[in-house]
Amino acid sequence: MFSNLDLAVAFIYVCLGLIGFGVLILLTMKARSIMLERKRSALLEKHQPYFVYLQRHIVDPDPFQPPKGPLSPLETRVIQDKLMEWIEKFRGAQRQKLTALCEDMDLVQLDRKQLSSMFYAKQMKAAYRLGGMRSAQAVEPLIELMKQEKDGPLLHVLARSVAKCAEHLDQLYVMLQQLTRHRKGNYLNAAEVLEETSLDVTPLLLQCMEDRDHNLVKTALLALRGQTGVTLTPALLRLADSDDKEIRSLAVKMLVRAGNILPEETICSWLTDPEGEIRAAVAESLGQFGYEGSIPALKQALTDSDWWVRYHSAKSLAMMGDAGFRTLCEAALERDDPFKSDMAKDRIHEELLREHFFANRRKQISGAHTKQSLYEQYFGQASSVPNIRGIGGDYSA
């Protein structure tokens, strides 16, 4: 009994000791962090005249002079952080001038060495800082490390840094290959990473669209999403027949959104694609583009077995002015397919509520209630106040 009590007391003392030790470590870390922050503030203040010099002469033709005299490692990092902050804020010659100063101060060289450190955290910080300085000198070691690295946070930081520093499209191509080789889903990230570069990536993306690697094709399609040039059409039409459903979906969406005049049979063929995701994407894109020639195909798509296809078809019809809304009303009254009429009713209800809401907000006159009057033509005056129970809807999803 006694021995058990002694053991318990000893255990409590050990626990208290461990807690005390833990608290001490936390307090030490906190104190260190506060001290470091104070040191940084003092150094920022010390170098403020130098920072004013940099800002004051940022557009002058001569290169910046690096700060004279020996700098402590912390001092170097404080100046580097400030330079990186400005590099992100400026573009063109001013950015290049700041990058050149980083190179003159050997900051790029310093972080290049750190890239080969044994410590992961140091490599990560070095990769981040090299990207922040946007120096072309950093591209080669960054790519080399990418080749050795497995999929993980460091690979993504390295890719982002390569995108920031690259001065040739070839370097970006290698970066994309390395980034997408590990995991299928990395193409989403790859397309986003490409936004960091200051190069015109259109030629590279066009080259990627022809690539055998499906991940590169997807990256290119995602990165080109905002572009609507008809020059892309031949390549996109080819990709619309791809075996990969994601490529097909992205290509078809782009084709529709680009505003190409597409034959009805082409649209119909896409709306009968075996993948529901693609049919839904086509239906959605047709509404965003507002191509009235697709109304019959969209009406047909209201009978689709996939809820999302029906939903996007109805939504797109509602976006196509009077003709689209009339088609929705007709579909709501037809009794051949309950899913079709339910989805149409559901969308009509949404549209009337939306119109009602905006009319109240904008204090519009009653003449502006176009959809309301169209609705009354089909369903009569008595039904003019929509309510969800009266109209029904497609809740099969």
Partner 1 sequence: MLHTAEQQSEFVPSFKQTVHHLCSNDPEHQLGIIFIHAGSMGRAWEGEISNWLKAERTISFELMIEDSHHLIAIMLRRAALDETHYYALQLKMLLEQKFAGQPIVCAIAAVADAAEIEELIEGRLAELTVGGAYSDIRVLHDELRPMDARRILVVDHDESVREFLNIWLTMKGYEVYEAEDAYSALDRIHSEPFDLILTELNLYGINGLPFISHIQKMNLNPAPKIVILSEQRVEQTIDYCYQQGVNDYITKPFSPVELDERLSRCF
> Least distance in Å: CB of 223 to partner 1?
15
Q: Can you tell me the distance from the alpha carbon of 16 to that of 20, in angstroms, rounded to the nearest whole number?
A: 6
DSSP state of 224: T
Q: Can you tell me the distance from the alpha carbon of 296 to that of 305, in angstroms, rounded to the nearest whole number?
A: 17
The sign of the torsion formed by the CA atoms of 149, 152, 154, 159 equals: positive
What would the DSSP string read from start to end of 269-334? HHTT-S-HHHHHHHHHHHHHHT-GGGHHHHHHHTT-SSHHHHHHHHHHHHTSHHHHHHHHHHHHH-
The smaller minimum CB distance to partner 1, of residues 69 and 234, is found at 69
Q: Can you tell me the distance from the alpha carbon of 298 to that of 287, in angstroms, rounded to the nearest whole number?
A: 9
> Least distance in Å: CB of 82 to partner 1?
8
Q: Can you tell me the distance from the alpha carbon of 208 to that of 210, in angstroms, rounded to the nearest whole number?
A: 5
> Least distance in Å: CB of 62 to partner 1?
6
**Nearest alpha-carbon partner for 162 in 137, 145, 186, 143:** 143
Q: Can you tell me the distance from the alpha carbon of 220 to that of 79, in angstroms, rounded to the nearest whole number?
A: 37
The smaller minimum CB distance to partner 1, of residues 61 and 234, is found at 61
**Nearest alpha-carbon partner for 163 in 195, 200, 116:** 195
Cα-to-chain-centroid distance, residue 370? 37
Q: Can you tell me the distance from the alpha carbon of 131 to that of 193, in angstroms, rounded to the nearest whole number?
A: 12
CB atoms within 10 A of CB 111: 26
Q: Which residues bind partner 1 (CB under 8 A)?
A: 49-50, 52-53, 55-60, 62, 64-65, 68-69, 82, 85-86, 88-95
> Least distance in Å: CB of 44 to partner 1?
11
> Least distance in Å: CB of 56 to partner 1?
6
> Least distance in Å: CB of 52 to partner 1?
7
> Least distance in Å: CB of 33 to partner 1?
21
> Least distance in Å: CB of 51 to partner 1?
8
Q: In 3-state terms, what secondary structure has residue 246?
A: helix
The smaller minimum CB distance to partner 1, of residues 60 and 243, is found at 60
